[in-house]
Amino acid sequence: MKILYLLNAYKDDGPGLLINRIAAHLASHEDARVYCAALSRDGVLRESFINKGIPTYFIGMKGFWDYPKYLALKKLLRHEPFDVLHTNLVRADIVGRLAAKEASIPVVVSTEHGIHAWAHWGKAVRALVKKCYIRTSHHAKAIIAVSDYVKSCLLAEGLPEQKVVRIHNGVDTNVYFPMTRYEKENYRNYICDMHVTNMIGFVGNLIEMKGIQYFINALPKVFIHFPELLAIIVGEGALRKKMEEEVEKLGLHKRVKFLGHVAGLTSRLIASLDILVQPSLTESFGLTAAEALSCEVPVVAANSGGLPEIVEDGVCGFIVPPRDSDALSDKICHLLDNPEKRKAFGTAGRQRVLSKFNIANTAEQYLALYQNLLTSK
């Protein structure tokens, strides 16, 4: 079986890294030959595919629609007898489905990572893209929703239930694994030269949708009870400068560190935490939360999107109302004040990921879906 994964760009974001890990797992499978292509924006992720022995293509599209490059994609699909085209994110979905239909690809599958991304476009553009997405969905044999939340959104948009399949995203548990107390202390000493009793953190894009402002607003109350705490913020985004100014205004700049985008070290930074805080206003799945649980780090998360599917409230973390900084600070303080509960939550979280959100399981579910669709075509 020849499988081509089509991305918008070779970008090391959540969808890109997910496909990179799934492709790597399936590349070692005797029933699969895996390839990857990106429509636009070459990048570091392409090198990762190549290092894993996965052949890559770069289409070089400019803008949402580039007809000459569309023809190049169609030529690729006709030249290589792919059995499955698997598209990811809305532009690759629309462009890939159209090209696959003209190239007579037997099976087209799309993974929907979250339709809330459409909300950032203008009303007219959003309406046009949505119309194209729905119409081209007829060319897909299946659409994978990464959570029950995303599945419900797709059904609400009018997609037929028999076409939408929920397959949760997965975590590479060999990359996201627990740290010893000694290793955690070494990481903290590297980040901060002051005495640190505990470390909590936020990992994600510094944008309104990720709720970073509610994490910052929760910190003063936490620091009253735990003055030797360190809070780290990993990521970049439009709100970084504003959040840095807010931390300065609150007088917390010595104990709150903005680390920016930390390439290659995110897994170890997450593992070095005592608590991960994910206050997102919307989240299609909650991969960062799952990665933290895999590292035996309990999570305090907002009750939004797919997060309650990942974080079992009162078992491996806490679910709080969105936009509620007081609720965030209360649960953070509760966990900081109860190290045995943190440990129990961490152990339960790792077991939950191993059984429900393991990348190997996700990849095998993808492969089984392809096989079923090919035999039923």
Q: 95 and 80 in one domain? A: yes
Alpha carbon distance 288, 296 (integer Å): 13
153: which 2 tokens?
């959104």
- Domain range holding 314? 181-356
Structural domain contains residue 258: yes
Question: Listing from the earlier edge strand, what are the strands of the sheet with 164-166?
Answer: 56-58, 33-38, 2-7, 84-88, 107-112, 142-145, 164-166
Is it the case that residue 263 has pLDDT exceeding 90?
no
Q: 144 and 209 in one domain? A: no
Quote the pLDDT of residue 120: 63
Q: 200 and 295 in one domain? A: yes
Structural domain contains residue 33: yes
Structural domain contains residue 175: no
Q: 349 and 227 in one domain? A: yes
Total domains, the chain: 2
pLDDT tens, residue by residue, 155-206: 998 899 999 999 999 999 999 999 999 999 888 888 888 888 999 999 999 9
pLDDT tens, residue by residue, 127-147: 888 888 889 999 999 999 999
Instruction: CATH number of the domain at 316, please.
Output: 3.40.50.2000
Q: 213 and 195 in one domain? A: yes
> Where is 155: in which H helix or E strand?
helix 148-156
Quote the pLDDT of residue 121: 65
Is it the case that residue 232 has pLDDT exceeding 90?
yes
Q: 252 and 107 in one domain? A: no
Quote the pLDDT of residue 118: 58
Structural domain contains residue 176: no
Q: 325 and 204 in one domain? A: yes
User: Could you tell me the CA-to-CA distances from 339 to 122, 184, 246, 283, 292 in Å, in that order?
Assistant: 47, 15, 30, 28, 17
pLDDT tens, residue by residue, 18-61: 999 999 999 988 889 999 999 988 888 999 999 999 999 999 99
SS (HEC) of 202-213: EECCCCHHHCHH
Give the up-direction half-sphere exposure of residue 16: CA atoms within 13 A in the CB hemisphere. 20
Structural domain contains residue 341: yes
Alpha carbon distance 248, 210 (integer Å): 21
Q: 130 and 192 in one domain? A: no
Q: 202 and 92 in one domain? A: no
Quote the pLDDT of residue 194: 81
3-state secondary structure of 250: coil
Q: 189 and 93 in one domain? A: no
Binned at pLDDT 50, 70 and 90, residue 117 comes out as low
Q: 341 and 370 in one domain? A: no
Q: 239 and 315 in one domain? A: yes
